[in-house]
Amino acid sequence: MENPVGNLISNLKRRNISGFYAKTISQAKELAESFIPKNSCIGISGSKTLDELGIVASLEARGNKVFNQYKPGISAKKSLEERNLGAQADYYLTSVNAISEKGELVFFSGYGHRISGIANAKNVIVICGLNKITLNLEEALKRSREYATVLNCKRLNWPAACLAQGVCRKEICLSPDYKRMCCQILIIESEINPDRVKIVIVGEKLGF
Ligand code: SF4
């Protein structure tokens, strides 16, 4: 396909999802920040993409209230509080595990806070590198589980069945010997309210 992003953005529009293209990571950061008023509060998900963007520190520095469950030294109780507050914030900022060329967004989650935030927030901003675009929904689900989640388990040293060998072993992952990360899956096929969900597609590899 010559212009996958152009087609993807048209496909997203049909689904009431606003798609934008940013050529570079820094343009993506600037664009995402321009969508968020400085006086609004923001929930975030754990995300290598957001880490690489450095957007959380930047939003905090300009005065936004960010419910950050990953603050260094935060207690488990406070972290849970921040996750719950973040899921109801004015804006929810996240990445996506995969997006199909037709515009279906796939999110996997362990505890479900990310899914709650994405499903309920008044405004959702999703950042997505070109590397996360798949041919179809089936491939998007496969990518989310067998590639992205396996790497996330490794990144977080999460004791799921994929941790030891670095490949998905879903056939044994429900055993009490493991802590499964693939617990909840959200697929956004379309939105009722146009512009609730904005997605910035970045013309570079970003996250995994
Ligand atoms: S199903 Fe289990 S083994 Fe497979 S990727 Fe998810 S957490 Fe890992």
Of all protein residues, whose CA lies closest to atom 6 belonging to ligand 1? 182
The pLDDT tens digits of the residues spanning 64-86 come to: 999 999 888 999 999 999 999 99
145 Cα nearest atom in ligand 1: 5
Q: Which residues of 1-14 are buried (b: 16+ CB within 10 A; e: fewer)?
A: eeeebeebbebbee
Compute the distance between CA of residue 143 and CA of residue 54 in angstroms, rounded to an integer: 24
**Looking at residues 149-157, what average pLDDT do you find?**
95
Compute the distance between CA of residue 98 and CA of residue 135 in angstroms, rounded to an integer: 10
| Superfamily the domain 4-134+184-202 falls into | NagB/RpiA/CoA transferase-like (3.40.50.10420)
Q: Is the CB of 151 under 6 A from ligand 1?
A: no
> Which contiguous run of DSSP H or E holds residue 44?
strand 41-44
Q: What is the CA(167)–ligand 1 centre distance, in A?
A: 8
Which pLDDT value is given to residue 195?
84
Specify whether the CB–CB gap between 200 and 18 falls below 8 A. no
Specify whether the CB–CB gap between 21 and 111 falls below 8 A. no
Q: Is the pLDDT confidence value at 4 over 80?
A: no
Q: Is the CB of 180 under 6 A from ligand 1?
A: yes
Q: Is the CB of 148 under 6 A from ligand 1?
A: no
Compute the distance between CA of residue 166 and CA of residue 154 in angstroms, rounded to an integer: 7
The pLDDT tens digits of the residues spanning 167-205 come to: 999 999 999 999 999 999 999 999 999 989 999 999 999
Compute the distance between CA of residue 49 and CA of residue 63 in angstroms, rounded to an integer: 22
The pLDDT tens digits of the residues spanning 21-54 come to: 999 999 999 999 999 999 999 999 988 999 999 9
| Mean predicted lDDT score pLDDT of the chain | 94
Which pLDDT value is given to residue 133?
97
173 Cα nearest atom in ligand 1: 2
The full set of domain ranges for the chain reads 4-134+184-202
Which pLDDT value is given to residue 3?
55
Specify whether the CB–CB gap between 22 and 9 falls below 8 A. no
Compute the distance between CA of residue 137 and CA of residue 144 in angstroms, rounded to an integer: 10
Confidence of residue 1 (pLDDT cuts 50, 70, 90): very low
Q: Is the CB of 9 under 6 A from ligand 1?
A: no
Compute the distance between CA of residue 186 and CA of residue 179 in angstroms, rounded to an integer: 20
The pLDDT tens digits of the residues spanning 136-150 come to: 999 999 999 999 999
